[in-house]
Amino acid sequence: MVARSHDDDWDLASSVGATATMVAAGRAMATKDPRGLISDPFAEPLVRAVGVDFFIKMMDGEIDFDGIENATPARLQAMTDGMAVRTKYFDDYLTDATGTGVRQVVILASGLDSRAYRLPWPAGTVVYEIDQPQVIEFKTSTLAGIGAEPIAARRTIPIDLRADWPTALRGAGLDTAAPTAWLAEGLLIYLPAEAQDRLFDNITALSAPGSTIATEFVPGIIDFDADRVREMSSSFRDHGVDIDMASLVYAGERNHVVDYLRNTGWHAEGVTRTELFERNGIDPPAPERDDPLGEIIFISGRLTG
């Protein structure tokens, strides 16, 4: 397994890119769930197009759990439910933001996020998506290939978030005098502590009053148990999936996002994933079935200026 480096890159079947396919597979399964918490009809065709056999079997209910250590139907259901409550939280956040009149949205690390194609955007909304070039290109061409059309005006910025993305975003048309709704979903654990702070500093510098932000903080990243995570992801590797979470994430001390945002002018609130499960009438997973990183705090905030 190749360790992270400051300028590594990837497609959707490898390294950090494969995590985008994994979470999209979770959305595809949550979309099929009769409880109907979310609907992402593009997740399944996107994951099929990436072509990682394990994720396709997962969506098709064809995983042979007997052959995979550490994997059980209950763990898979916990992962699917986790993706359902996460997706709904951020869908609602964006719908609420446009409900208050915000007409430009920036999705950082957009991966296989299809919100530009599936949320009920008001006329005149522009959705900017930032991710690595291979990731952006794959999603754009795959969705065009199945005849999908964005509902919002979609503008893509194929750039690494460790490069000068604010300049690229302004160059693509972001109006820094108007409020922006920002989304950083499933991103922070893949950034070093200092890059996380810089990300929020950049966002704050680009945000007019009335801007909103949503992201999630994973406290377990601080005292991260690499051995347990490596053991739990071994089943993926045994089945040809290039995901070793232990080598993809940046563990150790980092600022708590709610504190950091509050200290830089945002009114930010966090809600635990356990609370989201309860709000949505879903039983939270037992700890042994849960994500090895444990609890997640979902955060949203507003800049009042």
Ligand X SMILES: C[S@@+](CC[C@H](N)C(=O)[O-])C[C@H]1O[C@@H](n2cnc3c(N)ncnc32)[C@H](O)[C@@H]1O
Of the candidates 167, 77, 156, 171, the one whose C-alpha atom is nearest the C-alpha of residue 111 is: 156
Count residues contacting ligand X (CB under 6 A)? 21
Site for ligand X (CB under 6 A): which residue of 13, 47, 148, 161?
161
Nearer to ligand X, 17 or 301 (CB): 17
Per DSSP, the three-state class of 29 is helix
User: Interface residues for ligand X in 199-258 (CB under 6 A)?
Assistant: none
Rule CB under 6 A: say whether 16 interacts with ligand X: yes
Candidate segments 45-53, 64-72, 128-136, 145-153, binder of ligand X by CB under 6 A: 128-136
Residue 188 contacts ligand X per CB under 6 A: no
Among 98, 104, 125, 132, binds ligand X (CB under 6 A): 132
* 171-177 contacts at long range (C-beta below 8 A, 24 or more positions apart): 172/128, 173/126, 173/128, 174/104, 174/106, 174/128, 174/206, 175/104, 176/206, 176/207, 176/208, 177/208
**Binding residue (CB under 6 A) for ligand X from 11, 13, 17, 282:** 17
CB of 22 to ligand X, least distance (A): 7
Binder of ligand X out of 78, 79, 106, 135 (CB under 6 A): 135
Q: Which residues between 92 and 121 bind ligand X (CB under 6 A)?
A: 109-113
Q: Does 9 bind ligand X (CB under 6 A)?
A: no
For 206-272, give the DSSP string: HPPTT-EEEEEE-GGGTT--HHHHHHHHHHHHHTT----HHHHS--S----HHHHHHHTTEEEEEEE
Which strand (E) or helix (H) includes residue 116?
A: helix 115-118
Q: Which tokens sit at 180?
A: 């922006």
Which positions touch ligand X (CB under 6 A)? 16-17, 19-20, 23-24, 109-113, 131-132, 135, 160-162, 185-187, 190
